[in-house]
Chains A and B, each alone.
Chain A
């Protein structure tokens, strides 16, 4: 039965071999769909040509939101809405507001960034990921190549993968 999505998988068990393989496969003009690893392989995002993530910017913006909300809340509540004399201090003085402002900055930054991460990575509790090879969470690195995105045929890509050090070359259809 012919299904609509056909992939060729290269199976690697060593991250150094994998990194060189990604370079040589991309050097031959083959487009890689994605590489699945059991642990983060440093430098893999660079050889795959991924742009740096902008999550730090999201974290910063959420953090600034927290800072502003905390300051506005405290100054408005104690300075304007219901001013009270506490220990003879000013209604709205900055130093006692620092702890709550700091905590809310950290809280919003952390929660906002993690929420952004889950959304951009399309991760949800009720979603099953595309599982190319179950060993990719155990001890193998799986390089998936989408045949629809490449001009070369299955056997040519398989040969390139073998040449670059893949232990096995498999097919996967969805």
Chain B
């Protein structure tokens, strides 16, 4: 028996041969997928609950939009978001202020042998939402009347103008298959019991979700045969994957948006979905140091918002003038105050206040901390000493709530950001009198504001609604309790030959992506 030997030359030759064979045969080639076949996008985590009633939101809504029917969908007209009926309906109209009639398109099939889409599915889907985690979206709905196999009426318990934009177009407005959900035990989580849309759904937890063409779909064909949504937690990793040619579309973080705008990669484009977030500095109107409206107005005049937009957000966000976000009815073009340190000093003098010391609380997050530090410097310039207090998310979201302790009594200044839906009513709901001690941490009340809130919900005339929401924001400015800062965009980096489609709140709708 001969003993195997390996000489130095033999080792080098073998290694080279193995390396060459690997490179030429099995080694996968990197780069972009075949055009028109596969679209590669990012999702920021696993879809844990696809059921519209119990979902978390975000990418779960994206999945619902590909696989479930909706009565209405968002459409952007110029700079404004509005709605239109989807392919699933041949009629969707408000016959009376409290009645919305619909007629479903014929012959749309549920998968897994569950038959055609029926009006009874709409009734089941919407009425079950009233007992779900998203019940708030259906507060205004009383019930759904089924008038035929494909026809029915959504009956509201009060006129509710935002119902189309806030409820029907968004994730909670998804329609599920009544029989399939009942067979699944009344609720589903990581898979759809039946789909009725251009794509089927399959997920590999921790890795990706794959949407493939639904063979039973008879509606308009989507732009891509297959969509691979990769689970990438960190947006920056996704940006690198785009640079490496492994992604076709990815969300951009605010700090890198500025860099990409300056140095756009070859064959790439940026699309801004919406700016449905509003950041402000709030003031507790009941706190002894801030009870005098002159002091609060002095603070409004002392903060240089432009320097925050440049210094903390690299100039990529839109300056805020109130709680109504860009693209929505009632967005303001200016505030009642402006940056004027001299006026701020005069107001403080008028109020007889000197040596004021305040605490500014903020979430411990990069942009928010930078914003706080700029405000600290701005207020120091008019003689107000500010201590910045970073707070973790758990205690932060409870600090203004009376039910969660006594911190609300110590609150002075804080940085707060809310996200909203594409209708101004949602932004205003947190500041009515009944929200004092819940989400109205500024703790002011105003009868006119409360009245206008109710009128805004019921009013269907666009011009009148706009007047209402403009006036409500004026009232908020007059309290002196707010310094409006910015609206952060939901921005996407994508291949230049793709026209992407997003909801105003940033969810991608792959079925409406187009190749250019």
Partners in one complex: no
